[in-house]
Amino acid sequence: MVEVTRERIVADLEKIFNETMGDWEYSGEITPETRLFADLGLESIDIVALGGAIEGHYRRNFPFAQWLGQMRDQQVDDIRVKDVIQFLHDNLGGSSVGERQ
């Protein structure tokens, strides 16, 4: 059983992005501050696909709809990579080993 630390989540996300980004118009590095809409140019359907890929990777469901809905209601206009990491970390109940402050 592999412990789902923040490091692990970051590595997993990187892997998922790398599997698809060869076809994208984005050529920069993806960092914790990278915005999914403004920087990567993603659309809402891409976020759905990203969620599906993440769920497939961890082989479990996450409450993405609730999370995204609440962000929209709070008028958060973009999602940063670090927000996704935090969301996954919260839901996976991972340890704080390697966590950045």
Partner 1 sequence: MTERVVLLGLDGGTFSTLDPLMEEGVMPFLKEFLASGVRGELLSVIPPLTPPGWASLVTGRTPGNHGVLDFFRFESPDSRYIRLVNSRDVKCETIWSIISRQGLKATVLNFPLMTPPRPISGYAVPGWAPWRYLRRLCSPRELYDKIKTVPGFNVQDLAMDLELEGKAIEGSSKEEYEDWIRLHIRREKQWFEILRYLMQEDPCNLTAVLFDGVDKLQHLLWRFIDPAYVPAHPSAWEQRIRDLCLDYFRQLDGLIAETVAMAGPEASVFLASDHGFGPSTEVFYLNAWLHRQGYLEWATKAPEDTSAVGKLGLDMTSRWSFMVDWSRTTAYGLTPSSNGLHIAVAGRRVQRGIDPKEYERVRSILMDQLGQLTDPATGGRVVSQIWTREEAFAGTQMEMAPDLTLSLRDGGFVSILKSDVVLKPRPEVVGTHRPEGVFMAKGPGIRQGLSLPALSLTDVAPTLLYTLGLPVPRDLEGRVAEQIFESASLHRRPIDVGEPTQVPEAFPQWPDHREDQEGEARVLERLKQLGYVE
* Pairwise CA distance, residues 52 & 49, whole Å: 5
Shortest Å, Cβ 7 to partner 1 = 5
Shortest Å, Cβ 31 to partner 1 = 5
Write out the binding residues for partner 1, residues 59-78 only, by CB under 8 A: 59-61, 63-66, 68-69, 72-73
Closer to partner 1 by Cβ: residue 93 or 97: 97
79 lines the binding site for partner 1 (CB under 8 A):
no
* Pairwise CA distance, residues 79 & 64, whole Å: 12
- Residue linked to tokens 């609730």: 66
Read off the tokens for 43.
Answer: 């659309």
Binding residue for partner 1, selected from 44, 77, 90, 96, defined by CB under 8 A? 44
* C-beta neighbour count of 40 within 10 angstroms: 21
Binding residue for partner 1, selected from 3, 38, 43, 90, defined by CB under 8 A? 43
Shortest Å, Cβ 94 to partner 1 = 13
Count of positions (residues) in the chain: 101
96 lines the binding site for partner 1 (CB under 8 A):
no
Q: Across the chain, which distance is largest between two alpha carbons, in Å? A: 38
Read off the tokens for 36.
Answer: 């999914």
